[in-house]
């Protein structure tokens, strides 16, 4: 393989910086972003808040304890999505091989195109400038340059905020050895604890392991991955926008901020998530025949699924199935609910309904979808959801369904 040049661009403290961009009086102050008003989980923290040890996923009261001056704001996902969209538009002008890795991260393979921009460093500086002139003067990013994705991402994490760092074959191992295993591999905590259990807690030790030893403990897939990672080897291509594989499943989960004790409330939340899931599937032109439901209270968790013979994509049927699944569960108090629609296929492959009642249902649904598309989501919604705050677990939406998120970026 000829030597590649890959940039990893990472917006610094994305959600918090976006708020500091919008409201200059928040700049230089510790800011935490909550999922929504009244929610207790910090989903992002500003550079200043991070200095106090505030981390993503922390409860609001913990963040307050660490930093009493912290300003907690509800997330504004419309705003973040708009910034992401413009950020990607900047990145993709440097190469068609541009992979949106998350809302604030993107890989660009400029091996073929860097010569048009006077080299990788010039590209990186130009991206930084354009971020400021086209999105806002407070926006910064860290950019890593290297010959593969693994090292490019490692490079961008070296200096934050507003960093620029290059990893070459000469310094790759040195940088790896200074890094934490957990920061680099994307292995998940399970694998990490397994490694530590074997006494392997850094890269030099991992590199000493033979492939045979790793294979014995981690199986063929992860052993090779670990072997390569420890040597800074990563041959995976940057996946351009147009070639993202189809989603395997759509799901929506929600953790309530108070315990739901009434059966009616629990069913409402369930219906809400069913509608969200089905909606999202329809927007992606998908339907599925696997239904999964999870409910959790503080002590117990329940999980069940059904596989159907026919594909479905409407919220009511999804809900009816969830009711069947949970029929025997003694649901009295709920903290968490998750609904999944899996085994997806394109809905254009579905047969045309034969029965008049099915046809009517289909017409009704597409009419509702059209009205909601024109006037806004939930202009028309099931009466069951009356009298509750409709939940829109957008974070999941963006981070969960990659395909949907990317379609959204492509179509906007």
Q: CB burial class (10 A; 0-12, 13-18, 19+) of residue 296?
A: middle
Nearer to another protein, 136 or 342 (CB): 136
* Residues whose CB is less than 8 angstroms from the CB of residue 10 and which lie 6 or more positions away in sequence, other chains included: 104, 105, 141, 142, 143, 144, 153, 156, 157
Which of 22, 40, 228, 283 contacts another protein by CB under 8 A?
22
Among 374, 383, 386, 387, binds another protein (CB under 8 A): 374
Per rule CB under 8 A, is residue 372 in the interface with another protein? yes
Q: How far apart are CA 338 and CA 294, in angstroms?
A: 5
State the nearest-atom distance from the C-beta of 77 to another protein, in Å.
9
Residues 82-141 that bind another protein (CB under 8 A): 82-83, 86, 133-137
> Between 86 and 296, whose beta carbon lies closer to another protein?
86
Distance CA 295, CA 297 (A): 7
- Residue 63 in contact with another protein, rule: CB under 8 A: no
Active site residue 134: no
- Binding to another protein by residue 251, rule CB under 8 A? no
Q: What is the strand order of the sheet 249-260 is part of?
A: 249-260, 334-346, 286-296, 301-312
- Identify the residue among 19, 99, 104, 394 touching Mg ion (CB under 5 A): 104
Residue 104: name its binding partner from Mg ion, another protein, none (Cβ under 5 to 8 Å by kind): Mg ion
Which candidate, 283, 287, 288, 256, places its Cα nearest to that of 272? 256
| Residue placing its CB nearer to another protein in the complex, 137 or 180 | 137
User: Binding of another protein at residue 379 (CB under 8 A)?
Assistant: yes
**Helices marked H in 146-261 — which ranges?**
149-156, 172-178, 181-185, 188-197, 203-208, 211-229
Interface residue with another protein among 25, 68, 299, 328 (CB under 8 A) is 25
Q: How far apart are CA 12 and CA 237, in angstroms?
A: 24
Q: Exposed e or buried b for every residue in 95-104, given b needs 16+ CB within 10 A?
A: bebbbbbebb
Instruction: Please state the length of the chain.
Output: 412
Residue 394, interface with Mg ion (CB under 5 A)? no
- Which one of 48, 105, 114, 276 is the catalytic residue? 105
Residue number with CB closer to another protein (136 or 382): 136
CB of 73 or CB of 200, closer to Mg ion: 73
Virtual CA dihedral for 302, 307, 313, 318, nearest 10 degrees? -30
**Alpha carbon of residue 353 to chain centroid:** 36
Instruction: Map residues 273-312 to x or -, x wherever contact with another protein holds by CB under 8 A.
Output: ----------------------------------------
Closer residue to another protein, CB minimum distance, 24 or 96: 24
| Least Cβ distance, residue 56 to Mg ion (angstroms) | 10
3-class SS string, 300-366: CEEEEEEEEEEEECCHHHHHHHHHHHHCCCCCCCEEEEEEEEEEEEEHHHCCCCCCHHHHHHHHHHH
Select from 6-14, 23-31, 150-158, 348-356 the region that touches another protein (CB under 8 A).
Answer: 23-31
* Residue range at the interface with another protein (CB under 8 A); choices 48-56, 209-217, 301-309, 366-374: 366-374
For the annotated catalytic residues, the residue numbers are 105
Which residues contact another protein (rule: CB under 8 A)? 21-29, 71, 78-79, 81-83, 86, 133-137, 372-376, 379
């Amino acid at each position: 393989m000829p030597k590649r040049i890959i940039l990893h661009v990472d917006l610094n403290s994305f959600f918090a910086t976006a708020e500091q961009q919008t409201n200059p009086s928040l700049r230089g102050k510790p800011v935490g972003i909550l999922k929504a008003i009244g929610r207790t989980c910090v989903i992002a923290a500003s550079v200043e808040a991070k200095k106090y040890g505030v981390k993503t996923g922390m409860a609001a009261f913990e963040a307050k304890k660490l930093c009493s001056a912290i300003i907690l704001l509800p997330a504004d996902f419309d705003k973040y999505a708009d910034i992401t969209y413009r950020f990607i538009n900047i990145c993709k002008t440097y190469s068609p091989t541009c992979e949106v890795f998350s809302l604030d991260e993107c890989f660009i393979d400029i091996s073929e195109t860097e010569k048009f921009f006077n080299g990788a460093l010039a590209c990186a500086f130009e991206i930084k400038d354009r971020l400021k002139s086209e999105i806002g003067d407070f926006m910064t990013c860290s950019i890593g340059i290297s010959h593969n994705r693994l090292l490019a991402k490692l490079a961008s994490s070296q200096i934050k905020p507003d960093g620029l760092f290059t990893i070459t074959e000469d310094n790759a191992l040195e940088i790896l050895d200074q890094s934490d295993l957990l920061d680099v591999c994307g292995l998940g905590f399970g694998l990490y604890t397994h490694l530590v259990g074997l006494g392997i807690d850094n890269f030099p030790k991992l590199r000493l392991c033979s492939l045979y030893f790793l294979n014995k403990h981690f199986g063929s897939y992860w052993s090779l991955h670990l072997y390569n990672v420890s040597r800074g080897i990563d041959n995976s291509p940057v996946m351009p926008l147009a070639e993202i594989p189809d989603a395997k499943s759509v799901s929506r989960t929600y953790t309530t901020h108070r315990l739901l004790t009434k059966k009616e409330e629990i069913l409402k939340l369930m219906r809400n998530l069913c509608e969200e899931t089905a909606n999202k599937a329809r927007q992606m032109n998908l339907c599925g025949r696997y239904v999964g439901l999870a409910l959790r209270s503080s002590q117990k968790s329940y999980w069940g699924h059904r596989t159907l013979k026919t594909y479905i994509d409407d919220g009511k049927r999804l809900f009816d199935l969830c009711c069947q699944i949970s029929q025997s569960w003694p649901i009295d108090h709920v903290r968490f609910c998750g609904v999944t629609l899996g085994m997806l296929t394109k809905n254009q492959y579905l047969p045309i309904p034969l029965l008049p009642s099915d046809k009517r249902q289909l017409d009704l649904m597409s009419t509702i979808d059209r009205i909601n598309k024109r006037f806004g989501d939930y202009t028309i919604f099931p009466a069951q959801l009356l009298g509750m705050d409709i939940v829109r677990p957008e974070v999941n939406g963006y981070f969960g369904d990659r395909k949907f998120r990317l379609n959204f970026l492509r179509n906007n």
